[in-house]
């Protein structure tokens, strides 16, 4: 493993991130100027540390082999989170580094879980930094989904390689082209979202910052009540539409741009995802309407359910109200939805729609071969042959998820939280969703009251979830460190 080149590139990433701190500094100057020193100190420390790494580990070799990407992806994410937490830590919020790191990890992984309260009166520079963390995190997720995870063959992601062969010399240029186009589309969609929020009734600042946390499926809001602060059905429907867009593959819009309708028709993820989403919204809306005696018209119930279901399924994390108050049936539904996630290639977290598709194909294949042992059955997904490696990768991912659920839930209980908080906390942080279930970390609560040990465990869960387990676990194998 080329550690020197990896550290050199991590230094460059840190320097770029230090420069990004000037954006909230400008916002800070435009408004209350309360956090000027926090951003100046943080930017200086981050740029200086990045420069030290760059000069200390300077390397003429700028390319990373697939094996090196495991270390670079994990280390760069941890380093960036460690330094991006400094503005929170140096600010007038008076929070511990544990809380600052948790808030930052939640931001960059676009989880949306928060330890902060009193957001309505918080300095706008800090609020903008939270939004910017999620927007930048969304770009990192796009690069991961399109250029890195398929090459590393994580959890069956090789099925989404930009070339038929991962060893092709054209694979990297093709991935680079797609990433650039997708980031451009991501920026355009963010702009459109901000415009729609503004037209719907948000102020310019709120429209911009909420758009920056909607498209990356992040969910940070400038208000403790989240979307519930805005008593506007129009704003809520805009949020539902763009949260749904954030859960669909951004590469889909790239294919639309390229007029590649053949590829668009082959992708079964989007119709499957939309059918599942509409089914859950329809079922829960009718149940809630019936529970309230079919009073009033149906639209408010559909909207209330749509906002919260779209938020959880897209792993955005907004809330318009406390769905824990809807009853045990709704809590069970939301608890089930927490780890599911959106489509592969989107900024959404979770297990992902395509893995459920591969699981269905695998079960179907197994049953058919039980009935007709001599039948040759070739499984396909999106008109691509699903190889045994892809099936194996998906099954390994799901197996590790199940085992990790038990391990992290027990660890959280040992740290001092109840079972529901532990289980939903693990689900929501692994899936990068945001709120959990129950009174403590549900949509009406936050993570501030959890023990410090729990926050570090959940921060780890966010990283594991966003980097999809095996990226990190591969570093614990001795073979990974051999040249």
User: What whole-number percentage of the chain has pLDDT above 90?
Assistant: 58
What's the predicted TM-score (pTM) here?
0.91
Could you say which DSSP state residue 227 is in? G
pLDDT in tens, 441-461: 989 889 999 999 999 999 999
pLDDT for the residue numbered 209: 97
> 386 φ, ψ to 5°?
-90, 110
Angle, in degrees to the nearest 10, between helices 269-291 and 299-313: 140
Task: List the structure tokens of 296.
Answer: 């009033």
How far is 142 from 216, CA to CA, in rounded Å?
Answer: 9
DSSP 34-53: TTHHHHHHHHHHHHHHHHHH
Strand (E) positions, 297-358? none
pLDDT for the residue numbered 105: 96
**pLDDT higher at 481 or 288:** 288
* Helix or strand holding residue 380 (H, E): strand 380-381
| 3 state SS of 319 | coil
> 384 φ, ψ to 5°?
-105, 140
Residue 3 has pLDDT above 90, yes or no: no
pLDDT in tens, 101-122: 999 999 999 999 999 999 999 9
* Helix or strand holding residue 381 (H, E): strand 380-381
Could you say which DSSP state residue 169 is in? T
Neighbours of 303 (CB within 10 A): 17
Residue with tokens 């279901």: 309
Kindly list the domain boundaries of the chain, sorted by start residue. 1-94, 124-404
pLDDT in tens, 33-76: 889 999 999 999 999 999 999 999 887 766 777 778 888 889 99
pLDDT for the residue numbered 236: 96
């Amino acid at each position: 493993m080329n550690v020197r080149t990896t550290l050199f590139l991590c230094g460059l990433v840190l320097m770029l991130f230090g420069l990004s701190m000037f954006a909230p500094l400008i916002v800070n100057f435009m408004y209350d100027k309360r956090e000027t020193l926090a951003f100046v100190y943080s930017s200086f420390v981050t740029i200086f540390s990045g420069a030290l790494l760059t000069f200390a580990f300077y390397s003429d070799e700028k390319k990373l082999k697939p094996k090196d990407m495991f270390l670079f992806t994990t280390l760069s994410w941890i380093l960036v989170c460690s330094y991006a937490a400094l503005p929170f830590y140096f600010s007038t919020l008076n929070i511990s580094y544990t809380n600052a790191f948790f808030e930052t990890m939640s931001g960059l992984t676009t989880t949306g879980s928060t330890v902060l309260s009193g957001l309505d009166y918080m300095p706008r520079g800090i609020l903008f930094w939270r939004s910017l963390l999620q927007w930048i995190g969304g770009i990192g997720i796009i690069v991961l989904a399109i250029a890195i995870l398929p090459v590393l063959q994580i959890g069956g992601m090789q099925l989404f390689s930009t070339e038929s062969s991962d060893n092709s010399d054209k694979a990297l240029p093709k991935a680079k082209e797609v990433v650039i186009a997708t980031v451009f589309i991501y920026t355009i969609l963010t702009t459109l979202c901000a415009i729609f929020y503004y037209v719907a009734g948000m102020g310019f600042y709120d429209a911009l910052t909420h758009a920056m946390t909607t498209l990356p499926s992040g969910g940070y809001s400038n208000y403790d009540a989240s979307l519930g602060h805005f008593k506007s059905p129009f704003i809520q429907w805009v949020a539902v539409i763009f949260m749904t867009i954030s859960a669909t593959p951004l590469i889909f819009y790239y294919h639309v741009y390229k007029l590649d309708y053949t590829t668009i028709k082959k992708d079964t993820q989007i119709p499957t995802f939309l059918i599942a989403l509409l089914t859950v919204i329809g079922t829960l809306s009718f149940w809630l309407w019936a529970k309230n005696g079919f009073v009033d018209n149906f639209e408010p119930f559909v909207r209330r359910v749509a906002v919260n279901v779209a938020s959880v399924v897209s792993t955005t994390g907004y809330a318009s109200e406390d769905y824990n108050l809807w009853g045990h049936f709704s809590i069970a539904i939301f608890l089930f939805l927490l780890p599911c996630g959106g489509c592969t290639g989107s900024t959404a977290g979770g297990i992902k729609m395509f893995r459920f598709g591969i699981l269905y194909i695998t079960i179907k294949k197994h049953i058919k071969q039980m009935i007709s042992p001599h039948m040759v059955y070739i499984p396909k997904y999106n008109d691509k042959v699903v190889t045994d490696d892809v099936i194996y990768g998906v099954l390994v991912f799901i197996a590790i998820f199940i085992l990790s659920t038990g391990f992290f839930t027990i660890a959280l209980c040992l740290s001092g939280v109840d079972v529901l908080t532990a289980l939903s906390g693990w689900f929501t942080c692994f899936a990068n969703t945001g709120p959990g279930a129950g009174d403590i970390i549900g949509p009406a609560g936050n993570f501030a009251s959890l023990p410090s040990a729990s926050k570090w465990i959940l921060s780890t869960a966010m990283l594991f979830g966003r980097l999809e387990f095996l990226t990190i676990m591969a570093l614990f194998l001795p073979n990974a460190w051999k040249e």
